[in-house]
Amino acid sequence: MKSLLQRRSALAWLAVVAAGTAGPAHAGAYDDFLRAIARDDAATVASLLRRGFDPNARDPKGQPALILALREEARQVAEVLIAAKGLKVEERNAKDESALMMAALRGNLPAARGLIAREADVNKTGWAPLHYAAASTTADAAAMVALLLEHHAYIDAASPNGTTPLMMAVRYGTADAARLLISEGADPSLKNQLGLSAVDFAMRADRQDMVQLVAEAVRRRQPDRGKW
């Protein structure tokens, strides 16, 4: 009969293999995989996948490999993973973030297009990819917002506390992303569960240009509302 220590060691080894592989790869492949992501070593990742490694493996903190690659700007690895057979594009991390959300935050347009092509959920409930695109400060933030809207992202998506993408844009994101949301019809008068509007978000960030942008959008809408 195995000792308790031996059984625990065997179970730990099996857990590593199960987390990191879908085939007869050795346990060391798991560490190789994580190191390859850190180095953006797409060739090693592709080689491991060909040998049966699971593209849905998670790091020791439970982060799906693709989300990890996108977060760490390992763009070549992300490209390989997005193309991988058996990838589960809607795997989430502990914060309920999806790969498309992380691509949106990082302004990674090629990854976002690839994920959408693989039917990633553009209108995920709770915090949505459009919230993350709107909060992004990358050069491609507005282009990411446009891409998501082209694929029918709900422009006034409400987070769990009712925060909209426009609110995120005027406080955290780029002016171009905020302007695009307003020009595409985002409602500047909405309030979240704390009673805060997009103007309030902009004021808290001391972004006077965004305060003026939203205030003007609200004024433009008022005559239309008076007709009903």
Return phi, psi of residue 204, to 5°: -65, -25
pTM: 0.85
Lowest mean pLDDT among 13-22, 55-64, 121-130, 145-154: 13-22
Name 207's Cβ contacts closer than 8 Å, sequence gap at least 6.
170, 171
Determine the pLDDT at residue 221: 85
Q: For residues 97 and 216, what is the distance between their CA atoms, to the nearest angstrom?
A: 33
Quick: pLDDT tens for 55-98: 999 999 999 999 999 999 999 999 999 999 999 999 999 999 99
Name 131's Cβ contacts closer than 8 Å, sequence gap at least 6.
101, 157, 159, 163, 164, 165, 168
Q: For residues 147 and 57, what is the distance between their CA atoms, to the nearest angstrom?
A: 28
Quick: pLDDT tens for 149-188: 999 999 999 999 999 999 999 999 999 999 999 999 999 9
